[in-house]
Structure 1
Amino acid sequence: MSTATATAPAAGYVHAEVGRLSFVRVLRSEWIKLRSLRSTFWTLVGVLVLIVGLAALLSAVVPDASTLGARAPETALANFTTRAATAGLTFAPLVVAVLGVLAISGEFSTGMIRSSFAAVPHRFPVFGAKAIMLFLVSFVVGLVSFAASWSIAVPLLTAKGYKGTLFSDTTMWSILGAATYLGLVAVFALGVGAILKASAGGIATSLGVLFLLPIISELLQALLPKQTWIADWSHYLLSASGAGMAGLANGTQEPWQNILTVVIWTAVSFVVGAILLQRRDA
């Protein structure tokens, strides 16, 4: 028969708190989840290739400005440079949206979300940490990608007679705005994924908002040209306002209106997703 004897801690020994929950640790765990997925790497590579590749392709194949016939105004030549440098903004948000949906729906499909909520019973810190990580990763990749696309487009197009300056305030705001838009799209898609709890439905809904709604709006404007309210409301679509954030024309919308519209789209999706995440079973 043996007797277990409790040993008193040595003098000067300080007991360390192990497993103490904090939001920083939740953030770190979400970062580990995000970077450990192979899909995250390839998705972000796809964003980089789309943005830089399309800008380089358009800048390389476009004819000289002198072939346009009558001399185009400088504003039109500068706008073309902006459109070429930000051409990837048409498709890159679609890729980022897929990443945002999978960040939450993938955990629902595998059951990992139960482990996350068991570790963080209040749930919202998990959702908030996911949103922060998705925004930061998408923003940084977008910042690098659009800086590279502008660095390629401006020299190629100015050599052909178009206008554009790499280190102007307009260019810097375009790069920053486009990168911010990508980050907000990722958070918007995260909210959609939390609402629907399904990868297929979340991706379809997010892509529908980003890609299908503008097409429907254009079709309605063509079929109902007298209904001017359709054209007016089309400027408040997520994709149209995102383009405005990147320096492209969006009707008569001011820059702050474009930013506010994208933030509202994102906030509504995020808040509804957070509420449903608290009320529904995992």
Structure 2
Amino acid sequence: MTVSTTAVLHSEWIKVRSLRGSLGSLISVFVATVAVTTLVFATVGKDEVEHGDDLLFGAFYALNLGQIAALAFGATAVSCEFLNGALRVSLAAVPDRNLFYAAKTAVVGGCALVVGTVTTFTTFLAGQAFMGSDALGLGDPGAVRACVGGGVYLALMVLFAAGLTAVLRSAVAVLSILVPFLLIVSFVLGDVAGSAADFLPDRAGQQALRREAVGSLGPWSGLAVTALWSAAAVLAGWWAVRRRDT
């Protein structure tokens, strides 16, 4: 039985919409980032102007919370296949494992890119609305690039989590590794490892949010490094799905 690529993509889109954990995490990327940005800039916006070293990077302060929801989306969207024999059902409908995995990562990554880009543009505009005459605009140097790059960054982090989940088969395990890594280990290594820390997935990708590059990577080269991390995770997940029994 041959299944069309369009049909498989549509089925994966239905899964994302129908699973509360996945859909809730995807929505939370937008809600959490914009809500925290609005709250922070409504109360301490002027302080950000006075004390921030990079006002453009500061405009995306809340993206650190949004990326946790993004990781949760990538992990739960894949881990659902390993619950209660769901993978057997999916592979019975789509026997071609390559097509199945490609469609899942494409839909998950595509949803993340759309929501991530909407989130970064909305976050930027919402925060700057409270800055008065000191506000940055989309016409300022690096602003559009940061908004677009931020959306790409979130999508890459989603794919990073999705690929690891295909390997470990557990959203809990993946989030237990990635969340502490991003919130704690990355900062500690940044202080200890020097320029080597510039190549960590989060630090590299977030260069796209800065007006001026910090460290050895620029905005697009930083995203390229994050893309390599994500590609490695996705390829590892592909290998696991192809080689392992259901």
Q: Which has the larger radius of gyration?
A: 1
Residue 168 (structure 2) pairs with residue 186 (structure 1)? no
Q: Distance in 2 between matches of 1:83 and 1:169?
A: 12
Q: Indicate how the Cα distance of structure 1 residues 20 and 122 shifts in structure 2: closer, same or farther if over 3 A, else same.
A: closer
CA deviation string 1:136-171 (max 9, x = no partner): 1111111212211111222322x1x53522234521
Structure 1 length-normalised TM: 0.79
The answer on whether the counterparts of 1:240 and 1:250 sit within 8 Å (CA) in structure 2 is no
Residue 102 (structure 2) pairs with residue 128 (structure 1)? yes
SS at 2:179 equivalent: helix
Question: Given residue 22 of structure 1, which amino acid in structure 2 is its aligned partner?
Answer: S
CA deviation string 1:86-115 (max 9, x = no partner): 112211111111111111222112211111
The answer on whether the counterparts of 1:195 and 1:272 sit within 8 Å (CA) in structure 2 is yes
Q: Residue 24 of structure 2 aligns with which residue?
A: 42
Q: Distance in 1 between matches of 2:25 and 2:186?
A: 24
More helix by share: 2
CA deviation string 1:207-245 (max 9, x = no partner): 244333313314x62xxxxxxxx1111111111112112
Runs of 4+ displaced beyond 3 Å: 63-68
Q: Distance in 2 between matches of 1:43 and 1:66?
A: 29
Identity %: 26
Q: Distance in 1 between matches of 2:155 and 2:49?
A: 38
- Aligned match of 1:177 in 134, 149, 152? 149
Question: Given residue 269 of structure 1, which amino acid in structure 2 is its aligned partner?
Answer: A
Q: How far 1:270 sits from its partner (Å)?
A: 0.5
The answer on whether the counterparts of 1:50 and 1:91 sit within 8 Å (CA) in structure 2 is yes
Q: Tell me, which stretches of 5 or more residues in structure 1 are unaligned?
A: 1-18, 222-229
- Aligned match of 1:217 in 186, 189, 201? 189
Q: Distance in 2 between matches of 1:66 and 1:153?
A: 11
Q: Residue 231 of structure 2 aligns with which residue?
A: 267
Q: Indicate how the Cα distance of structure 1 residues 140 and 115 shifts in structure 2: closer, same or farther if over 3 A, else same.
A: same
SS at 1:253 equivalent: coil
Q: Indicate how the Cα distance of structure 1 residues 241 and 110 shifts in structure 2: closer, same or farther if over 3 A, else same.
A: same
Question: Given residue 126 of structure 2, which amino acid in structure 1 is its aligned partner?
Answer: I
Q: Residue 202 of structure 1 aligns with which residue?
A: 174
Residue 62 (structure 2) pairs with residue 99 (structure 1)? no
Residue 86 (structure 2) pairs with residue 112 (structure 1)? yes
Q: Distance in 1 between matches of 2:85 and 2:209?
A: 38
Q: How far 1:127 sits from its partner (Å)?
A: 1.2
Q: Residue 194 of structure 2 aligns with which residue?
A: 231
Q: Distance in 1 between matches of 2:241 and 2:121?
A: 37
The answer on whether the counterparts of 2:25 and 2:70 sit within 8 Å (CA) in structure 1 is yes
Q: Tell me, which stretches of 5 or more residues in structure 2 are unaligned?
A: none
Q: How far 1:176 sits from its partner (Å)?
A: 0.6
Q: Distance in 2 between matches of 1:272 and 1:43?
A: 23
SS at 1:156 equivalent: coil
SS at 2:62 equivalent: helix
Q: Residue 21 of structure 1 aligns with which residue?
A: 3
Question: Given residue 242 of structure 1, which amino acid in structure 2 is its aligned partner?
Answer: G
Q: How far 1:65 sits from its partner (Å)?
A: 6.4
Q: Distance in 1 between matches of 2:126 and 2:103?
A: 35
* Alignment: residue pair count: 245
Q: How far 1:122 sits from its partner (Å)?
A: 2.5
Deviates more, 1:59-68 or 1:116-125: 59-68
Structure 2 length-normalised TM: 0.90
Question: Given residue 152 of structure 2, which amino acid in structure 1 is its aligned partner?
Answer: T
